[in-house]
Structures are given as C-alpha cells and as structure tokens.
Structure 1
Amino acid sequence: MSQDYTNKLHAGSTFPTQTVTLKSGKEVALGEPRTGFDWQLIVVYRGKHCPLCTKYLNQLQNYIERLAKIGVDVLAISGDNKEQLVTHASQLNTEFDIAYGMTLEQMKELGLYISDPRSDQETDHPFSEPGLFVVNEQGKIQVIDISNNPFVRPELEALVNGLTWIKDPDNNYPIRGMHR
C-alpha cells in the first residue's frame, strides 16, 4: 500500500515566495502586504462551486476594517480560472483582493489538501481545500490553519480578536507551535 504525504508548512517558517494574479490582471506576491500594512492574511478557498466558501468570504468582508486598523492586509485565492472568478464575483460582497489561478504546484508548496471534483458540474479542475495563513512583517508564518474539507475553518471573530491581541506589543506574544 503506497501512501502520499503532503508537505506541511510550519509556524515560524518563512512563507514561500509565490506570485498570483488578481481579478484586475495585476500580479502580486503572496505574503507581501500592500503599502500601509505590515501583515497579510491569506485565505485559500475551494472555488466558486463551494457555497461555504462564498459565505466565508462574504463574512470576512465584515472584518476588513478591524483588520486594517491593526495593519493586516487580506487576500483570498483559489485555483479557479479568471472566468470562474468573474462569475463568482457576482455572489461576493467583498472589497478585498481576490486572486485566481493557483496552480497545483503552488497548492502543494503551501501544504494544502487537494481534491478532485466529484463531477464536471462541480468544477473542471482539481482544487485546494481551505487554508489560512497569517504572514507577519518578517515574512514568517504567524498563524496557519489547513483543512481537508469545507466544513472546518477558523471562526472569524475569534481569529480577528486573536490577531488584535497578538499584534499588541504589550502582550509580547510569540509564534506558537514551534517546538521541534
């Protein structure tokens, strides 16, 4: 019996250099927040075929202002192509950047779980299951959450409250999970 293993990223490690394409066509680097921000929250979602992803992204919009106040930029990405993202945008009430075209190699490099579609009606390509990465000002992974299904994701209120607490210099909170 052969087993395939995924390569998981570790808290505190340097976030891999990856370039992605926004809906506008502009290329940006994952893990490099826009000007005015020092951290970046990267939300990897399954794609337009996933109603739970649509709901999560729409809920995330409610936290954008609070995240901006603490210097956290937000970017979401999936393996969907540009046409799928454009179609999906009509269901999204979001103002943060959303990228498309994440490759299988990029998904694997991030240690994401990858699924095949159940049918052509679901989607036309393998897709990543949800992942969430918070990259700090040093380019290190501060927070990581990877799921193998759409039902398990960080609860956004707890995540934003936690990031607010972590980023408060008075708390001197280290990256957790680094015991080797």
Structure 2
Amino acid sequence: MKKIIILFAIVLAQFSVAQNDLPKSANDIAPLLIGEKAPNTNLTSIDGKPVSFLDVLNNNKTILVFYRGGWCPYCNKHLSALAEAEPELLKMGYKIVAVSPDSAKSLEETKSKDKVNYTLLSDSENNFSKAFGLAFEAPKNYEKYLMKGSDNVNSSIIPVPSVFILDKDGTILFEYIAPDYKHRLSNELLLSVANSLK
C-alpha cells in the first residue's frame, strides 16, 4: 500500500510539472475547443481592480479577443478594426472584451491610442491565457516589450492572438487562432460568423 501511495505521489508530481511546462512556440499550443467553457479566471480591469471573467461576461454573448500587447502594431491595428465593427456587433447583441498581458496602466494607453470603447482587461500573470491553452514562451527579444507593457510582472509569456465567440454562459461557439501574429480575423468574417450565431 505504501508503494502505491509513493508511486501515485510521483505520478502526480510529474503531472504537475507537465502542467506548468509552457509550449515553446505558437504552433505548439493546445487551446480550448468549440463546445468547451471559458474558465472563470480573475483578471484586472483598466482601473486596476480584480474582476472574475464570469462577472465580465455577465450573461452576455461576447467576442473575446486575446492580443499580445499595446506594443504590437498588428494588435493595435486589429483593436482599431474591432472598434469599427463594434456598433454592428452591439446591434447583434454581442459585447467585445479584449485581454492581454499588459498592465492596467498600459491598457489605458492602448484604449486612448486605438480609440476603443469596449472592455480591455489585464492578464499580466497570464493565468487566463494559460487556462485557455493559448500561452507560450515568448522569444527572448520580446522581454523588454513584455516587461514594459506588464509593468515588470511578465517577461517571458505571451498569448497567441485569438478571437472567440462565447455564448451567454461562456461556451465557445467559434474560435480563430492565429499562430502567425501577422494574420488576424477580418471584420467581414467576424461579422458574418457573429450574425450566423446570434
């Protein structure tokens, strides 16, 4: 019996280590799938207050966006494009929530620069992107951008840019995951899919 308990402890320890291992590249991630539910992880609002994702969802259909940070020109272009699509998405009954490793202070700068009205949330410790299976080890040359954007909380973890459409209870209805950060979901496709799922 003692041997079985020791063996179980070893297996559990190995599983724990494996769970903490991050994918080495954007192509190695294992994201949540359509039909699975978004995790109820704590995030930080733009005013620096902790908030649970289910409270943010607040029983609304949601366009959930993961982006690398306000330092990324491709992300800024995408966030601005989403701002243009927002009125039509609101008419369909959706709200937009965008999450990055940036600190609340950096979110404020991004909100102003990209002229967005929708919700920006901070995931500086990357717990939300890890729970979604989107986090991976950032290339070494990203460290200075991540450190500055996250207010020195994060130096090595980055999410793969992604767009999810969630039902009111957080169930994933659609996902677009872009390991090549230069490719983003177009507004045309997003609006078409959102309309078909409303």
TM range, smaller chain: 0.7 to 0.9
TM-score after normalising by structure 1: 0.79
Q: Secondary structure at the match of 2:79?
A: helix
Measured in 2, the distance between the counterparts of 1:156 and 1:137 equals 21
Give 1:123 shift.
3.0
Tell me the matched-pair count: 164
Choose which of 172, 175, 187 in structure 2 pairs with 1:141. Answer: 172
Choose which of 66, 70, 82 in structure 2 pairs with 1:44. Answer: 66
Measured in 2, the distance between the counterparts of 1:32 and 1:136 equals 14
Which of these two proteins has the greater Rg computed from alpha carbons? 2
Structure 1 runs not aligned, ≥5 long: 168-180
1:66-77 to 2 correspondence within 5 Å? Answer: 66-77=88-99
Choose which of 147, 151, 173 in structure 1 pairs with 2:182. Answer: 151
RMSD after superposition: 2.4
Structure 2 runs not aligned, ≥5 long: 1-21, 148-154
Indicate the residue corresponding to 1:176 in structure 2. none
Choose which of 191, 194, 197 in structure 2 pairs with 1:160. Answer: 191
1:76-87 to 2 correspondence within 5 Å? Answer: 76-87=98-109
Measured in 2, the distance between the counterparts of 1:105 and 1:21 equals 11
1:84-103 to 2 correspondence within 5 Å? Answer: 84-103=106-125
Report percent identity of matched pairs: 23
Q: Secondary structure at the match of 1:123?
A: helix
Once the two structures are overlaid, the 10-residue window that deviates more, 10-19 or 117-126, is 117-126
TM-score after normalising by structure 2: 0.72
Q: Does the CA contact (< 8 Å) of 2:62 and 2:167 recur in 1?
A: yes
Alignment CA distance shift 1:119-1:57 (3 Å) = closer
Q: Does the CA contact (< 8 Å) of 2:86 and 2:96 recur in 1?
A: yes
